[in-house]
Amino acid sequence: MKAELLVSTETLAARLGDPDWIVFDTRHDLAWPDKGREAWQAAHVPGAYFMHLDQDLSGPKTGKNGRHPLPPIPDFAARMNRCGVAPGRQVVVYDDGGGSFAVRLWWMLRWLGHDRVALLDGGFAAWKRESRPLDAAVPAPREGRFEPRPAAGMTVDANGVAALLGDPAAKIVDARAATRFMGENETLDPVAGHIPGSHNRFWQHNLGYDGRFLTPEELRAEFLEELGGVSPGRVVHSCGSGVTACHNLFAMELAGLAGSRLYPGSWSEWCADPARPVATGPK
């Protein structure tokens, strides 16, 4: 396993209280937005700061930029600095949903130049199942030295995605469940379907039965088969709102297939413009 991407529960337990390790709890429920914060207030990994998907990891919505647009960079940087993020400090992120929300913070920190960030493999479920320490205390603010440096080439906007349609040397990978991808059982967005030509890989396929990630070798074999010869740098990840798309991007990184990009607006942005094409069905 790549230690820089995944941290085991054993490793984190041994580092509790280490001032050079910063832990973030990103638990969330799309249908119950306050559930994650309430769960964190009840019990969390000792010292873990809470980051709310809507309030901390997303920006203002316009009705055209998707359900979870990226937040203003200065605002995000200020939040990280209040929690002690600084060069050389290890950040660990977790949730209770297989990493489906934690990957958003992982990706954002990497995008903005902080490479020392990892997911807790197995997340809060594994931590609790193993009877590891829990706390309900609110951690005190810390002084950080996080200076965001947005990396070029890690994102693609709607126009960039449109330019890829029909290009056999590129692939758009959609992380939503198959039914939503096909245009069935759509409960979150006003239009059902997917970006024409995109390929569906449900993000949960990156996990084993125990909620931990598959091995890099397993992930590599699966992604190489699904990409069909398309190079990682020509892969764009999408989902409903640019969150679980990061899960497939993370899995590709774990598999040694670095360089794929994120479409942050994803389907919720794409379908907000009726002029953009929509596809339904399995392909």
Share of the chain above pLDDT 70, in %: 99
- 162-167 average pLDDT score: 96
How much is the pLDDT for 20?
A: 97
> Would you place residue 283 in the very low, low, confident or very high pLDDT band (cuts 50, 70, 90)?
confident
Q: What is the pLDDT of residues 193-245, one digit of tens each?
A: 999 999 999 999 999 999 999 999 999 999 999 999 999 999 999 999 999 99
How much is the pLDDT for 154?
A: 98
- 70-76 average pLDDT score: 98
- 30-50 average pLDDT score: 97
Question: What is the DSSP secondary-structure string of the chain?
Answer: --TTTEE-HHHHHHHTT-TTEEEEE----TT-TTHHHHHHHH-BSTTPEE--TTTTS-----SSS-SSPPPPHHHHHHHHHHBT--TT-EEEEE-SSTTTTHHHHHHHHHHTT---EEEETTHHHHHHHTT---B-PPPPPB-------PPTTSB--HHHHHHHTT-TT-EEEE-S-HHHHHT-S--SSSS-SB-TT-EE--GGGGB-TTSSBPPHHHHHHHHHHHHTT--GGGEEEE-SSSSTHHHHHHHHHHTT----EE-SSHHHHHTTSTTS--B-S--
How much is the pLDDT for 103?
A: 98
Q: Is the pLDDT of residue 246 over 70?
A: yes
- Asked about 271 being catalytic, the answer comes back as no
> Would you place residue 5 in the very low, low, confident or very high pLDDT band (cuts 50, 70, 90)?
very high
- Exactly one of 83, 239, 246, 271 is catalytic; which is it? 239
- 164-181 average pLDDT score: 97
Q: What is the pLDDT of residues 6-31, one digit of tens each?
A: 999 999 999 999 999 999 999 999 99
pTM for this predicted structure: 0.97
> Would you place residue 2 in the very low, low, confident or very high pLDDT band (cuts 50, 70, 90)?
very low
How much is the pLDDT for 17?
A: 94
Q: What is the pLDDT of residues 95-129, one digit of tens each?
A: 999 999 999 999 999 999 999 999 999 999 999 99
How much is the pLDDT for 3?
A: 44
How much is the pLDDT for 12?
A: 98
How much is the pLDDT for 217?
A: 98
Share of the chain above pLDDT 90, in %: 98
**Over the chain, what is the mean pLDDT?**
97
